[in-house]
Amino acid sequence: MNFWDYKPWWCQPWSILLTGVVAIAGSWLLLRSLWLTAFVTVPILLWWLLFLILVPRMFRESQETKESGNITD
């Protein structure tokens, strides 16, 4: 089972990455401030870490645990 099969089109890895890149680039192009762009970038990087790496990994581990029979429904 693939985690991304359960998500709508606007919550796919490509859309999450594209939105983040546009926000970071837009911040730089509009503000021309390294500090403000960093202020925008850090939460986006944390969002990517959570939703592109950690949540899919936890989902996969949960599915593997269920398949191995360690958890009963």
DSSP per-residue codes, 20-49: HHHHHHHHHHHH--HHHHHHHHHHHHHHHI
Q: Give the CA radius of gyration of the chain.
A: 17
In a domain, 30, yes or no: no
In a domain, 20, yes or no: no
In a domain, 11, yes or no: no
**For residues 25 and 45, what is the distance between their CA atoms, to the nearest angstrom?**
13
CA nearest neighbour of 55 among 16, 9, 4, 1: 4
pLDDT at 68: 82
In a domain, 70, yes or no: no
In a domain, 53, yes or no: yes
Domain range holding 53? 35-62
In a domain, 58, yes or no: yes
Query: How many domains is the chain partitioned into structurally?
Result: 1
pLDDT at 71: 58
In a domain, 46, yes or no: yes
In a domain, 18, yes or no: no
Residue numbers of the chain with a pLDDT score lower than 50: none
pLDDT at 67: 82
pLDDT at 73: 52
pLDDT at 58: 95
Cβ-contact 20, 48 below 8 angstroms = yes
